[in-house]
A and B are shown apart, each in its own frame.
Chain A
């Protein structure tokens, strides 16, 4: 037998999904996370699941891991102390940043700039300057690099970032600087900007390089420890880690570019959503990953998650390929409050898991989304199948005093209002990844997962006029499952701005070969020789004068790329994304040329199950009062056990479907069936739409 194992470490739980490569059998395992040393839960989970399935460690063929270690280090500022060497004249780059004050007009008066990743006293300058074509204006002052490296060594600064102006055009000066640093200070971690991301815009590239460097010592220690734990469990299986791009990488490759793992955890969930919905024949999907503090949303088109080449991690604009995700502060623990003259707001402040919602009885006093769900009968009065009881009265009282009384509403109306505002916030987030990218959410299926994903799906679908919802088998373990569907992925680009009318195709061909070589080399380092790999070439293009690019794929044949259709394809893509194009009216320029390489890990196939002979009535547990906003009253709502086998007979809402770690609410106006893969398929009833 051979098993591949996916382990996703979250803030509260560590989820594991084991998949039998031969039979397709899946086993889900959950254990409490161990935040002080996440590798402990990693080991517990492996040993636990092997015990349950009765397999030995030798039968494990592959370990795949999603982690929030990098994300949390960024969010909490727990990266290593590091030094930064920049081009002469740019010492204050991180201070000046992009000069922008986030937030509303007037925010300048109260906004406090967060601490910089590298404090000014640890930044050093070196002379040496390239022009925008990458030609040397002034040679590198090697002595300054040498002295800086020695000084860092003396100070005990273990990680050094190097970022020079225009190095994306010509990395030679940065590469030389790295050599000198390694000569002077062999046991330090060093990364150069042209290696981390070879694209223009110096602040974002430098910031990304700094974060990358600051994460190196941490990730290196963490991944070493995971390898030790795996050995402790008795397995020699290779360890792959999920990256923000939705591909995985071997641990040893990731140590060079830990920034690539900054959205490791959330990315795995989106990959799972793509794999699960594709198997069910649904290729256009919007995902909704609702957890305790926030909700992440992403768009999958034609079975493939949309990708961005840059994005935001917390307050940092970084350049690293990542799945196009938006986060809103609407999770189970998000707090409802009244602003100014009694305007109801939900989030972004969260009660988190400590103290948690009022109903947890752990000292929380501010009403949360979970409290509203409990009061309205949308969740059972306990967590995890009864392990943790919830205090409905306390939730009721908090909503009454903090929200309902000041607004002159009944507690139920106030609680329903909290969910309505949360729904609106989530819907706004979905619009960011869809409407803002020129996509109409009505053409997509909503795919909820995460612990709280099933609770607000119908209201969110109503708000966006979406017609169908797919709830996976184990919404709480979706991210872990996603790890099992991933390929090794490598992305590299070179910035070379070339106008359409002054195109130097030869140069682009040469750059393509360079970048392809880097991709192939990285894949080879991860055990993939030419047979198991797949390559995609692309250019990023824009109209001259624009600052945002659109990625256009290029066909590759016999070691060369064809640019023939790329301009036409760009106009078409621009039309689709922004609603207009300037074909024959405006010049186009190429900004980046790049290659993505995949090392195929042979993802498993989903196997359909036969339809159940029984029906919903066999799964009915009891009825519970559920508040329905449309009729402003409680109704007797049937509560069902989550089916494990397909049921073709549709069940009309209202209905509540419970499983170990998730509850799904089917609102009036919607009906639910179970497809042949065991997913809940919730669809709007054909005639009219009832507001949730």
Chain B
């Protein structure tokens, strides 16, 4: 069955109304003859061959990504894994596991098929002309058509976040831009190589429009080399199995993903309608105005719809993302693989799990709205989705985390050349219904921090402390992960930049768990000049000798903190991750410190603990399903935001049995 025929289970007519943006900008229908061939060969693909093709394509993508990591030059690509490889069919449906990776839609929109040749290499970063696949300008995408047996079989793509693409600020990440023109050069899909011949003119334009041309050259060459590795491996697969079989298998892999989601994952979700919301601190310009994301999950036995009606209109500042429903379905849908381990989530997920997005929102912005900070919006979409899931699953889901926090310092060396130390920080992950959240991790898999010994070799700073921020994880039966604290002592004058969220709002706790501590920066903490820096900031002047203390948010807690295992509290106190005061006030656990020889020990007073816990239980307000913390409450009181509270029964978490057996994020 084709993609089009499958979509009847959705009411696609909504995409023709002004209330919703088209699910996908354009389709690339294949001819009847092509479908006949694909259907014929699909019959010939036995289950083993299908797995051989799947394994071959996944290995190709892994190999491509490994090549980028080795040869790439931007730290954000190399260490922090902000790049993805993918393979899509001729009609631009992704068949590999990182299905929100780029696809070839933008290339097809600019070049008719007869004008796409073996040896062509396409390049683009145009956020508003990429069919929702590349959504801010530092992400350059390389796309290579893969030919076999004289015809086009597939495309391979790599996109990655390069260090600088021009625009008004070093690092091309202005947090107060009001139009995309401030954010860098926009390159629509163009040929960097034509039939194997390099188009130097294009290179010249790209390299002239970056502050770090050497790095850019290295990154682009790494992308091209990696795409070619993928191309070679797909061709070898075609040599062995035949191009017709490989191509038919790609379509069958999407069918298989659809079946896995429908037959294995859907039954785990309770049918019904559930609404969740979450808030971003602000758009970088209107500092008092939180930005709301809202989603209603509509689940019936055949599908899951995520309707994002209620989401904030596009913002003046660069929080916007020019997505469509298709992209967001694949982004959020990636998290479904945990319910069916071993399943590759590809474009097939969108036949059962779909986002419906109103136009002109912060998730579906219109040209030329600024987009550079859209990442925060993407990650917060999981917050709104998680809040809705918490209702669907009676609280039996993970608490909230927001991990991608970017901090940096830039300046100019003696020759006037710019330098930029920029790092992606993790934070605490949300507590789970069965375990604590994880301390200091990043949400993007395999995204690494930078070693102090690397940073100090390269940039004029001394990193005095890299640690966990005590008491930052939300309290709960399972506590949230702790955020970071990092002290950066800078040795020359420069400018401090932040691209962050959750410096005001907390990561929310779930099912009675407490909110995590928000992140934030203190310049020269503990001195008379101490200064708090919140929100996104694109250039706070700092002087040689200043200490910048960065803290990142802790994850939300899960469940009633009074039910936390007493020994777990004692261990956290012993490890200096939870203070004696917090143990008492939040967990009702009385811990006494004593000295034994040279060591310090902590002992729990069980009797006093029982009394304390009872006292807290009597005095406190009912626990909430979603606990958003103080800033949200203040903003609600000030009339800046609205949200609904769901309270748990007074008896605590035990009486509030989850409705599903599975533990969900």
Interface residues of A (CB under 8 A from B): 89-93, 95-96, 98-113, 119-121, 129, 131-132, 137, 147, 150-151, 154-155, 165-166, 168, 200-204, 337, 339-345, 407-409, 413, 416-417, 420-421, 424-425, 428, 431-432, 435-436, 463, 465, 497, 543-548, 578-580, 582, 585-586, 691
Contacts and interface: CB of A to CB of B under 8 A. Distances in A.
Contact of B453 (A106, A111, A132, A344): A132
Contact of A110 (B79, B338, B599): B338
A102 B411 CA distance: 34
B446 A100 contact: yes
A121 B448 contact: no
A651 to B, nearest CB: 26
Contacts of A155: 599
Contacts of B574: 121
Nearest to B332: A106
A547 B59 contact: no
Contacts of B420: none
Contacts of B453: 132, 165-166, 168, 200-202
B590 to A, nearest CB: 20
A339 B341 contact: yes
Contacts of B487: 89
Given A89-B464, A202-B451, A99 B256 contact: no
What 9 pairs across the A-B complex have the smallest Cβ distances? Answer: A339-B342, A340-B343, A340-B260, A109-B665, A417-B48, A89-B465, A341-B260, A341-B259, A151-B598
Contacts of A150: 598
B42 interface: no
A402 to B, nearest CB: 14
A298 B593 CA distance: 54
Interface in B52-111: 52, 54-56, 59, 63, 66-67, 70-71, 73, 75, 78-79, 81, 97-98
A333 to B, nearest CB: 19
A343 B256 CA distance: 8
14 contacts: A90-B465, A96-B439, A104-B445, A105-B335, A112-B435, A119-B575, A132-B456, A154-B597, A201-B454, A341-B264, A416-B48, A421-B51, A546-B71, A580-B225
Contact of A421 (B48, B259, B263, B443): B48
Contact of A547 (B78, B257, B343): B78
Contacts of B598: 147, 150-151, 154
Contact of A101 (B221, B335, B442, B449): B442
A110 B664 CA distance: 9
B3 interface: no
Most B CB within 10 A of own CB, among A165, A407, A413: A165
B448 A98 contact: yes
Nearest to A544: B214
A339 to B, nearest CB: 3
Most B CB within 10 A of own CB, among A113, A545, A548, A691: A545
B83 to A, nearest CB: 13
Contacts of B48: 344, 409, 413, 416-417, 420-421
B599 A344 contact: no
A341 B54 CA distance: 13
Contact of A154 (B52, B337, B599): B599
A337 B341 CA distance: 11
Interface stretch (B29-37, B126-134, B425-433, B607-615): B425-433
A99 B340 contact: no
Nearest to B265: A340
Nearest to B485: A92
Contact of B218 (A112, A341, A586): A586
Contacts of A105: 98, 334-335, 444-445
A417 B256 CA distance: 18
Contacts of B291: none
Contact of B575 (A120, A417, A545): A120
A109 B401 CA distance: 9
Given A89-B487, A108-B401, A341-B264, A431 B441 contact: no
A439 to B, nearest CB: 13
A108 B443 contact: yes
Contact of B70 (A343, A424, A578): A578
B334 A106 contact: yes
Nearest to A151: B598
B343 A341 contact: yes
A546 B338 CA distance: 34
Contacts of A428: 55, 59
Contacts of A341: 256-257, 259-260, 263-264, 340, 343
A409 B468 contact: no
Contact of A436 (B63, B468, B484, B575): B63
Contacts of A200: 451, 453-454, 457
B47 A424 contact: no
A512 B263 CA distance: 64
Contacts of A340: 256-257, 260, 264, 340-343
Contact of A100 (B52, B442, B466): B442
B462 A131 contact: yes
Contacts of B2: none
A131 B456 contact: yes
B375 to A, nearest CB: 14
B335 A109 contact: yes
Given A100-B446, A202-B451, 14 more contacts: A89-B463, A90-B452, A96-B440, A96-B484, A102-B445, A105-B98, A120-B575, A151-B597, A154-B599, A155-B599, A341-B259, A409-B48, A424-B59, A546-B78
B376 interface: no
B597 A580 contact: no
A108 B467 contact: no
A110 B66 CA distance: 24
A408 B448 CA distance: 44
A343 B403 contact: no
A419 to B, nearest CB: 10
Contacts of A101: 438, 441-443, 445-446
A107 B456 contact: no
Contacts of A424: 51-52, 55-56, 59
A471 B640 CA distance: 75
Contacts of A579: 225
Nearest to B423: A99
A547 B79 contact: yes
Contacts of B215: 545
B47 A99 contact: no
Most B CB within 10 A of own CB, among A95, A544, A586: A95
A567 to B, nearest CB: 17
A576 to B, nearest CB: 13
Given A106-B335, A111-B438, A421-B52, A99 B449 contact: yes
A465 B484 CA distance: 49
A96 B468 contact: yes
B156 interface: no
A498 to B, nearest CB: 11
Contacts of B467: 89-92, 96
A585 B215 CA distance: 12
Contact of B225 (A342, A543, A578, A691): A578
A92 B67 CA distance: 32
Interface in B583-619: 597-599
A107 B438 CA distance: 11
A422 B142 CA distance: 32
B342 A113 contact: no
A443 B416 CA distance: 50
Contacts of A96: 439-440, 449, 466-468, 484
Interface string B472-508: 0000000000001001000000000000000000000
Nearest to A406: B47
B442 A113 contact: no
Nearest to B339: A340
B406 interface: no
B364 interface: no
B551 to A, nearest CB: 13
Contacts of A147: 598
